[in-house]
Structure 1
Amino acid sequence: MSLVPNERTKYLATLINTVAAASIVAGVVAPMVAFTFGMPGPISGGFTVAVGIVWLLVGAALHYTVRIILGTLKP
């Protein structure tokens, strides 16, 4: 049995999980750090929080997708 399909699936899962982490960092962590240091942003208030929540949900959805993909690995 060839292990190539499993390895390709793992690479795909790694790529998607990296995009998930990057979306959380870019959409949630970076604005929080900027706010902590008092850096001005183009928007503020509730809209910023809403955008951060959307990015957090996108990252979580991508991570959950990775878990589903890894569940398809063959023994």
Structure 2
Amino acid sequence: MNQIHNEQTKLLATGVNNVAVACIVTGFVTPISAMGVGATNAPPLGLDTIGFAVAWLLAGSGIHWLARRTLQSLKP
């Protein structure tokens, strides 16, 4: 039973971590990359853009932390 529980826990943690990665890519990496290459639809660099990117980075980091916490319930 422990192996089933552990595999289900790892699958859950992987799914949660994928959501964290999606948040970071969508809200942090994409705007920064768009500004870096000079895309015409890139957001202008300003305090609100920086705040938006940092908020998404922190949200993704927090969700990643939840995924790591999920792994603490693995059984020996």
Structural mapping, 1:1-75, within 5 Å: 1-41=1-41, 43-44=43-44, 45-75=46-76
Normalised to the residue count of structure 1, the TM-score between the two structures is 0.89
Q: Give the secondary-structure state (helix, strand or coil) at the position aligned to 2:34.
A: helix
CA RMSD of aligned residues (A): 1.5
Normalised to the residue count of structure 2, the TM-score between the two structures is 0.88
Aligned AA (1:38): G
**Unmatched 5+ stretches in structure 2:** none
**Unmatched 5+ stretches in structure 1:** none
Q: Looking at secondary structure, tell me which structure has more helix per residue.
A: 2
The total of aligned residue pairs comes to 75
